[in-house]
Amino acid sequence: MKRRKFIAYSVVLFSSTVFAKEINSYALHVTILKEPYQTISQVIDDLFTPSVGMPSPHSLNVVGFLKAVMRDKRVTKERKEFILNGVEWLNQTAQNHYIKNYIVLSSDQRQELLKKISQKQWGDNWLWYLMNYTFEAMFSDPVYGANIDKIGWQWLEYKPGLPQPPKVNRYV
Amino acid sequence: MYDVCIIGSGAGGAPIAYELSRAGKKVLVLEKGRYYTEKDFFKDELAVSRRDIYTPPLDEQQHVIETRNNDGEWEAIEGRKSGWNFWNGSMVGGSSNLMSGYFHRMKPNDFQPASVYPKIEGANVVDWMIEYKDLEPYYDKVEKVVGVSGHVVQHPFLEPRSSAEYPFKPTWEHPIAFWFDAACKKLGFYSIPTARAVLPYDALERKGCSYSNFCGSYGCATGAKGNARSALLDKALKTGNCTILSDSFVYKIESDEKKATKIYYYNEDNQSLHVEAKLFVVAAQAVESSRLLLNSKNSYFPNGLLNNYGQVGKNLIFSAGGNGEGRLRFEDLPKEKQDVLLLRGAFVNRSLQDWYEYEQDGQTIKGGTIDFLFEHANPTSRALAEVYDNDSNLIWGEKLQQKIKYAFMRSRKFSFEVFNDWLPTDDCFVTIDEDVKDKWGIPVGKIRLNSHKHDIEVGKVLAGKAVQVLKEMGAVEISTNISSAPPPNLVAGGCRFGYNERNSVLDRNCKAHALDNLYVTDASFMPTGGSVPYTWTIYANSFRVADEILKRFDNKEF
């Protein structure tokens, strides 16, 4: 992280194009999802089905943000493994109850399953982390590639503090 | 050779650099963290509050933390594994960059706690070597040099002041401060305007506050906050006598029997370099200052520098207390109050000290301070606070979205923080763990945590008073959280000052008992913490020590 911070700092000093690729690659827009992100994306959709004006997780680029979190050296390896392992545990629970993976369950079955796992310690923690990163995507500065066009802030009429970070001053 | 080498650039080190460089001494400041200035500070929640970019990554630098397990045995766990971060503000200017800037002086009785208050079994409370009157001129100096804004009102625990008023008027105050005043008046409490190390307008060669609504945890983009870099080090640099080396981690101090002789540090390229100076000042924050001394063993000090009597690292203290909050709802407020409740940017600036001491069972108990504020503006943490229902079940879907929308747009949480004494005990200290190394291969600090049960009892009494105010203001959903969790940004002790080296590390002037040219000027010297945040006292004491050092230079003792 020290090194990456140094890179960002150097850009301010020297405006070098060498680093442009580096600083443009936090949350990329994701079009095709493979597992485990397909399941994670479905769970996030099930947790955050838009209502009362909330923008959809897709328009916020939540999954693109979460994939960036997996590359982020400031997020611990243990945390990343837990997020990914949760998909496996979710599917084990789905198989135990419905003999199917989560992704192919009906909407009602998926909601029922989310209720079941939320009563377990791992499930509560796992869902909490998915919410955590969804909120980070929703409220982070748009320079990180989520909260596109500030739609997360607009939903709640939230006014960010100033100055907001320009791209060259992103931490990664 | 430098006249003075200072290890650490925060509130403990910067006043020494400021005063000595202005007096013509050649000063070197070594800081482990990066050199950030106003142009590097942005209100970036992800970087600052979610990813902690101002503290080292725990897989590179960490602490080992010892706590009691359920069987009452001490159990050690690496911070890397637990995620428990005891770093705070690793950058030029130190953690003062990230403070909220609540500035309270300690009270006269804080300097004689062993004499004034009943003895508490299991607590290592001692009187300070100085009195309030010794520090008062320096509290006053900090107001003027660092910049403190506020307004003095009379109350039973107002400390004696040599200046009738603060040099700067209070920052722009949120109308809720006046609702608070009215509630306190009804309850018979003394509402105190909280002094803050924030300039309300351009002054002291710095810009005034931009009222951006982000102070605590964030660096100040205008320089209004009285952090050690913008208030002191920038001016020290202008003298031409001060050099600051950032990204420079000091890992060892070398000494002979009587004097420190040189320090060793790693620079940004991981090269090991050394520096000689006539005088050395350690101000690396309490835990790291003890760690540096303990890692600096030599034949004269086989157990660590200054540690021949086992005093280094002992009596580590934090600020005890906790916090609480209540929700003010639109539906409970008249229209005109609804309109102003969501106003952003202004400060609350209100405290209570009615129970800095209180009577209980015929005894005078040491109480503390309660500061009031709005919940932090960070939206992610505010949204996360809504994800459980009243029965502690995780909620999602429309129910959660309604709750979040209500929290952001139809109500606002009003909060408080309690500061009371964390009593020093035999089981709260710093050692080093020889088996766990940082990225440079240096043994890390090992922190044993213990709080005295009395701390929580006092915290609860104070929280109860704060709840009364919240209720009077019409808040609902009131909750309190008084615990023994140590706040890493409010840490002191480890190198107490005292009368001899058998029970302390430093003398009255924060010079090591055991070495003639080594000082420790961060919060390590404090035997007790008072019941206020430490920063003002650290600044004031460091200015005091700077005067003592200058006298020695004048007397040609170096």
Q: Identify whether A163 is preceded by a cis peptide bond (ω within 30 of 0).
A: yes
Q: Is B310 exposed, middle or buried (0-12, 13-18, 19+ CB in 10 A)?
A: exposed
Q: What is the dihedral of CA B254, B256, B258, B263, to 10 degrees?
A: -20
AA identity, residue B185: K
* Cβ count within 10 A of residue A105: 18
| Chain A residues close to B402, C-beta within 8 Å | 51-52
* Whole-number Å distance between alpha carbons of A53 and A56: 9
Please calculate the CA angle A104-A109-A111 and round it to the nearest 5 degrees. 110
Q: Among B41, B43, B46, B220, pick the best mutation site for testing chain A contact (most A Cβ within 10 A).
A: B46
Distances (CA, A) of B133 to B113, B140, B540: 15, 11, 12
Q: Nearest CA to CA, how far is A96 from chain B (Å)?
A: 22
Q: Which residues 160-219 in chain B show a CB within 8 A of chain A?
A: 210, 212-214, 218
Q: pLDDT-based confidence at A24, cuts 50/70/90? A: low
Q: Which of B114, B430, B416 is nearest to B287 (CA)?
A: B430
* pLDDT digit string, tens, across residues B170-181: 999 999 999 999
Q: How many percent of chain B have pLDDT more than 70?
A: 100
DSSP SS3 for B276: strand
Whether residue A4 is predicted with pLDDT greater than 90 in this model: the reply is no
Contact B81 A78 (CB under 8 A): yes
Q: Which pLDDT score is estimated for B392?
A: 95
DSSP SS3 for B481: strand
CA B433, B283, B161, B163 torsion: positive or negative? negative
Q: Which pLDDT score is estimated for B548?
A: 98
Q: Does B270 touch chain A (CB under 8 A)?
A: no
Span B321-343, mean pLDDT? 95
Q: Is B138 exposed, middle or buried (0-12, 13-18, 19+ CB in 10 A)?
A: buried
Q: Is B378 exposed, middle or buried (0-12, 13-18, 19+ CB in 10 A)?
A: buried
Span B330-346, mean pLDDT? 93
Least confident of A112-121, B318-327, B336-345: B336-345
* pLDDT digit string, tens, across residues B352-370: 999 999 999 999 999 999 9
| Chain B residues close to A70, C-beta within 8 Å | none
Q: Which pLDDT score is estimated for A28?
A: 85
Whether residue A33 is predicted with pLDDT greater than 90 in this model: the reply is no
Q: pLDDT-based confidence at A29, cuts 50/70/90? A: confident
Q: Does A65 touch chain B (CB under 8 A)?
A: no
Q: Identify whether A36 is preceded by a cis peptide bond (ω within 30 of 0).
A: yes
Helices (H) then strands (E): counts for chain A: 9, 0
Q: Does A97 touch chain B (CB under 8 A)?
A: no
Minimum Cα–Cα distance from A141: chain B residue: B44
* Cβ count within 10 A of residue B181: 15
* pLDDT digit string, tens, across residues B42-74: 999 999 999 999 999 999 999 999 999 999 999
Q: Which pLDDT score is estimated for B35?
A: 97
* Whole-number Å distance between alpha carbons of B496 and B279: 20
The answer to whether B148 touches B168, Cβ cutoff 8 Å, is yes
Q: What is the dihedral of CA B179, B181, B184, B189, to 10 degrees?
A: 170
Q: Which of A45, A54, A37, A39 is nearest to A138 (CA)?
A: A54
Q: pLDDT-based confidence at B491, cuts 50/70/90? A: very high
Q: Is B10 exposed, middle or buried (0-12, 13-18, 19+ CB in 10 A)?
A: buried
The answer to whether B366 touches B117, Cβ cutoff 8 Å, is yes
Q: Nearest CA to CA, how far is A118 from chain B (Å)?
A: 7
DSSP state of B58: T
Q: Nearest CA to CA, how far is A98 from chain B (Å)?
A: 22
Q: Which pLDDT score is estimated for A1?
A: 30
* Whole-number Å distance between alpha carbons of B162 and A79: 53
Whether residue A21 is predicted with pLDDT greater than 60 in this model: the reply is no
The string of DSSP letters for B410-472 reads: SEEEEEEEEEEE----TT-EEEEEEEEE-TTSPEEEEEE----HHHHHHHHHHHHHHHHHHHH
CA A157, A142, B221, B416 torsion: positive or negative? positive
Q: In chain A, what is the greatest distance between 2 CA atoms, to the nearest angstrom?
A: 58
DSSP SS3 for B254: strand
- pLDDT, mean over chain B: 97
Q: Which pLDDT score is estimated for A18?
A: 33
| Chain A residues close to B42, C-beta within 8 Å | 163-166, 169
CA A58, A59, A64, A68 torsion: positive or negative? negative
The answer to whether A133 touches A32, Cβ cutoff 8 Å, is no
The answer to whether A148 touches A141, Cβ cutoff 8 Å, is no
Helices A62-71 and A37-47 cross at an angle (nearest 10°) of: 130
Q: How many percent of chain B have pLDDT more than 90?
A: 99
* Whole-number Å distance between alpha carbons of A132 and A134: 5
Q: Tokens standing for B52? A: 């902690």
| Predicted model pTM | 0.95
* pLDDT digit string, tens, across residues A63-90: 999 999 999 999 988 899 999 999 999 9
